[in-house]
Amino acid sequence: MNADDTAAAIAKVIENAPDWLRQDLASKDPGLRTRAEETLVAIITAALRK
């Protein structure tokens, strides 16, 4: 996977991120934010392994 493919895969993940994930990333609650960050990392990692 080249840099353009990687960027496209990450962009697609972000575009398709569920609303709860977006809301939790913007949350002032550190626990919610951490959970959302970890979830986003897992989703991006899975997308890059395809």
DSSP string computed for the chain: --HHHHHHHHHHHHHT--HHHHHHHT-S-HHHHHHHHHHHHHHHHHHHH-
Residue pair 39/21 in contact by the 8 Å Cβ criterion: yes
pLDDT of residue 21: 97
pLDDT of residue 8: 95
pTM over 0.85: yes
DSSP string computed for 30-43: HHHHHHHHHHHHHH
Averaged pLDDT score across all residues of the chain: 96
Average pLDDT over residues 10-23: 97
**What are the pLDDT digits (tens) for 33-46?**
999 999 999 999 99
> What distance in Å separates the CA atoms of residue 4 and residue 33, rounded to the nearest whole number?
28
